[in-house]
């Protein structure tokens, strides 16, 4: 498995690594009042609807450990259809086009393309993949007052975890629509690990769905890779989680082909089992593949909020990734075992 694969579908996997240098450091805030659970759920639904059912266009920037990456995002909703175009503004030219669940990633320089289905983990500005009431079993929503970002008035909230197994998130929600304008992932000591933000955004902007549809239909002269994956379960693949990690539940499991050489251009492929677990706000992916001599057996790594733990289990390599503390990932690895 490519260890560089992000937990987010290609929009975020390719682009999002920060905004602190453009939008400034997170302001220091003290106090704040907890939002009643019923009001918190209404806010969550509003944020989710704004991300999935409204049109917007803007420049999205991510900062992780001083590294900045940016992209131009156009999201258009027309009835039951959603269209999205993402142009990567840094590094190798690339664009990502989406029509509902179809995702097409284009590398113009190499004339290569990858056609896939949307990952179950939605990218920013979606807060999570659905309005999940379980979120407030593990987080408190704290109102931190008013703010202003990218020219828009916002309300600032802190999603404060109730245990050490997950990170806090501070979010800026556009006042009139609920659209997320910025999210900071915070360490236990208050440090900003990663920031994702719009440096500028127009709400209700009209785009051109036909440009997405035309690109999905016309790929003559391109080398196209169609990602193959099938729904499965850990049990069907001979695995089980013997002790559930507190607060997380499995949301999906697939057997898929992941790039073996680089996530920038489609390369060699290998069958990998990927199980996704969620606590309602953040996600953890568990990848299981045959062990290879050229891969490290055990060890951890981190880039901003994203942590990775790799561990050899029998003849398999297990890689666990998520925007959670490393100790949480090690819990997942320790709980995974082959069925007797």
Average pLDDT of the chain is 82
Q: Domain check: are 90 and 149 in the same one?
A: yes
Q: Which domain holds residue 303?
A: 227-338
* Last residue within a domain, chosen from 168, 203, 238: 203
Q: Residue 63's domain is classified under what CATH number? A: 2.50.20.10
Q: Domain check: are 35 and 138 in the same one?
A: yes
Q: Domain check: are 32 and 130 in the same one?
A: yes
pLDDT at residue 16 in the model: 32
In the predicted structure, residue 70 carries a pLDDT above the cut 90: yes
Secondary structure class of 330 (helix, strand, coil):
helix
Predicted TM-score of the model (pTM): 0.81
Q: Domain check: are 298 and 259 in the same one?
A: yes
Average the pLDDT over 68-79 and give the result: 90
pLDDT at residue 291 in the model: 86
Return the number of other C-beta atoms located less than 10 Å from residue 27's C-beta. 10
Q: Domain check: are 240 and 187 in the same one?
A: no
Q: How far is CA 230 from CA 255, 256, 269, 271, in A?
A: 5, 7, 15, 10
**How many domains are there within the chain?**
2
pLDDT digits (tens, 9 = 90+) for 100-131: 888 889 998 899 998 887 665 666 766 764 44
Distance in angstroms between the alpha carbons of the first and the last residue of the chain: 25
Q: Is 253 among the domain residues? A: yes
Looking from the CA of 54 toward its CB, the CA atoms found within 13 Å total 21
Average the pLDDT over 24-47 and give the result: 73
Q: Is 232 among the domain residues? A: yes
Nearest Cα to Cα of residue 317 among 287, 279, 276: 287
In the predicted structure, residue 64 carries a pLDDT above the cut 60: yes
Q: Is 118 among the domain residues? A: yes
Q: What is the percent of the chain where pLDDT is above 70?
A: 80
Q: Domain check: are 273 and 154 in the same one?
A: no
Q: Is 1 among the domain residues? A: no
Q: How far is CA 16 from CA 29, 107, 116, 283, 327, in A?
A: 25, 18, 19, 16, 24
pLDDT at residue 65 in the model: 83
Q: How far is CA 282 from CA 178, 308, 312, in A?
A: 19, 14, 25
Q: Domain check: are 249 and 147 in the same one?
A: no
Tokens of 226: 């169609």
Q: Domain check: are 84 and 196 in the same one?
A: yes
Q: Residue 279's domain is classified under what CATH number? A: 3.30.200.100
pLDDT at residue 38 in the model: 86
Q: Is 161 among the domain residues? A: yes
pLDDT at residue 140 in the model: 93
Q: Is 101 among the domain residues? A: yes
pLDDT digits (tens, 9 = 90+) for 259-268: 443 343 334 4
Average the pLDDT over 268-296 and give the result: 84
In the predicted structure, residue 303 carries a pLDDT above the cut 80: yes
Tokens of 155: 């309300």
pLDDT digits (tens, 9 = 90+) for 214-224: 776 777 888 98
In this prediction, residue 270 has a pLDDT band, given cuts at 50, 70 and 90, of: low
CA–CA distance, 199 with 192 (Å, rounded to integer):
17
pLDDT digits (tens, 9 = 90+) for 130-186: 445 678 889 999 999 999 999 999 999 999 999 999 999 999 999 999 999 999 999
Q: Domain check: are 64 and 151 in the same one?
A: yes
CA–CA distance, 300 with 33 (Å, rounded to integer):
36
In the predicted structure, residue 192 carries a pLDDT above the cut 50: yes
């Amino acid at each position: 498995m490519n260890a560089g694969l992000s937990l987010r579908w290609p929009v975020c996997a390719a682009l999002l690594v920060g905004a602190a240098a453009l939008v400034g450091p997170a302001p220091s805030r003290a106090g704040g009042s907890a939002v009643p659970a019923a009001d918190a759920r209404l806010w969550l639904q509003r944020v989710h609807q704004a991300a999935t059912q409204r049109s917007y266009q803007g420049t999205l920037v991510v900062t992780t450990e001083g590294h900045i990456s940016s992209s131009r995002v156009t999201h258009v909703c027309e009835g039951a259809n959603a269209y999205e175009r993402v142009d990567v503004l840094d590094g190798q030219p690339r664009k990502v086009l989406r029509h509902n669940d179809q995702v097409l990633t284009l590398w113009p320089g190499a004339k290569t393309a990858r056609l896939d289905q949307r990952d179950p983990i939605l990218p920013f500005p979606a807060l999570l993949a659905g309005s999940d009431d379980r979120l407030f079993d593990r987080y408190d929503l704290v109102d931190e007052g008013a703010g202003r970002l990218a020219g828009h008035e916002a309300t600032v909230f802190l999603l404060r975890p109730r245990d050490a197994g997950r990170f806090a998130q501070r979010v800026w929600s556009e006042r009139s629509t609920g659209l997320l304008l910025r999210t900071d992932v915070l360490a236990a000591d208050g440090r900003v690990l990663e920031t994702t933000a719009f440096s500028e955004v127009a709400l209700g902007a009209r785009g051109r769905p036909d440009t997405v549809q035309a690109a999905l239909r016309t790929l003559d002269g391109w080398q196209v890779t169609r990602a193959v994956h099938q729904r499965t379960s850990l049990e069907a693949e001979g695995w089980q989680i013997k002790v559930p990690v507190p607060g997380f539940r499995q949301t999906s499991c697939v057997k898929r082909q992941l790039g073996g050489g680089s996530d920038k251009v489609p390369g060699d492929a290998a069958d990998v089992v990927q199980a996704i677990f969620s606590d309602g706000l953040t996600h953890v992916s568990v990848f299981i593949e045959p062990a290879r001599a050229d891969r490290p057996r055990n060890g951890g790594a981190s880039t901003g909020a994203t942590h990775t733990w790799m561990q050899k289990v029998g003849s398999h390599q297990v890689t666990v990734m998520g925007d959670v503390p490393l100790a949480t990932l090690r819990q997942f690895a320790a709980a995974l075992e082959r069925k007797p």
